[in-house]
Amino acid sequence: MPIYKYKCETCEQVNTFMHPSSESRHDCEKCEDTNSLVKLMTKPNISKNNSVQKASEPAIGEITKQFIEENREILNNQKKQYSNKNYDKS
């Protein structure tokens, strides 16, 4: 199961959660603010062992591809967020 990091925009606490890629976290457990968590970029944690891969498990290449796509989406969202901010140049 993938491990994801989230940062609370309210209290700035960084938390690590393990959940399926089809799910996401939204509420901060520390400050209890709702919809304050932002997913941070992560890298896949792939451990190799001598056991045979089960047919139901995704291939390492698929896991890596999924993390790349998720991180690409996070970067695009951050670009939009920062480009929409009005910076005061004084």
* Mean pLDDT score, 48-56: 54
Of residues 22 and 38, more confidence is placed in 38
pTM, 2 dp = 0.56
- Asked if 31 and 11 count as a contact pair (C-beta separation under 8 A), the reply is yes
pLDDT digits (tens, 9 = 90+) for 13-22: 999 888 887 8
Query: Which H/E stretch holds residue 17?
Result: strand 14-18
In the structure encoding, which two tokens stand for residue 84, read together?
Answer: 């929409």
Q: pLDDT at residue 53 above 90?
A: no
Dist. CA 68–CA 66, nearest whole Å: 5
Q: For all residues of the chain together, what is the average pLDDT?
A: 79
In which band, very low, low, confident or very high, does the pLDDT at 45 lie, cut at 50, 70 and 90? low
- Asked if 56 and 89 count as a contact pair (C-beta separation under 8 A), the reply is no
